[in-house]
Amino acid sequence: PGAPTRGCPYISCRTYIEKICFRREVRENMLLPLARVTRALSLGIWLGGIVMAFIVAPIVFKTLDPDRAKSGAIVGAILHTAGQMRLILALLALAAEAVIFFGKLPGAPQGGVRYVTAGALLAALGLALFTFLWLEPAIYQVRDQITDFSAAAENAPERVAFRKLHGVSMAVLLTEALC
């Protein structure tokens, strides 16, 4: 086996592909659509996870109706995992947005539009971080102090504090979805 001959179709095809794929203008023309698709998919899955949380929680509580402690534990575990996924998706969307925002690629949005989309994404990421790093631990801390989930203990200070934090959590999650 000697060196490939000049007329070898594999070598000429490989050279052609290398010339096409490694040209700067081809990379730049591929980068913007790839960044847009990455941003759209990550935002779509992120929003889907938020919507899922609003659908799943009431179903779990209704299904396990008498046992609110077990329902809360299940929903809490789901929301914690969803929160981790939201952060991963947010960072992926942020990376794609950075390519679009700073890339100076042909066809990229110019002017105020790019500031609005980047600002909304940063706001949603900030809300997700706030929820994951501060609000969720605060809710768990108060929930762990509640010993009685019966209707008789509705006005216990821990239950009142939990309801307030839960309300803040729902408002933040809804705002995050709207961003």
pLDDT in tens, 104-135: 776 777 778 888 888 999 999 999 999 999 99
pLDDT of residue 10: 55
Whole-number Å distance between alpha carbons of 46 and 121? 11
Q: What is the mean pLDDT of residues 45-70?
A: 88
Average pLDDT, the chain: 83
pLDDT of residue 145: 86
The answer, yes or no, to whether residue 141 has pLDDT greater than 60, is yes
pLDDT of residue 143: 86
Q: What's the predicted TM-score (pTM) here? A: 0.74
The answer, yes or no, to whether residue 139 has pLDDT greater than 60, is yes
DSSP string, 57-109: HHHHHHHTTT-HHHHHHHHHHHHHHHHHHHHHHHHHHHHHHHHHHHS--TT--
Contact (CB, 8 A) for 17 and 54: no
Percent of the residues in the chain that have a pLDDT greater than 90, as a whole number: 42
Q: b/e map of 52-65 (b: 16 or more CB within 10 Å)?
A: ebeeebeebbeebe
CA 146 from centre of chain: 31
Quick: pLDDT tens for 2-25. 555 555 555 556 565 556 555 666
User: Amino acid identity of 169?
Assistant: S
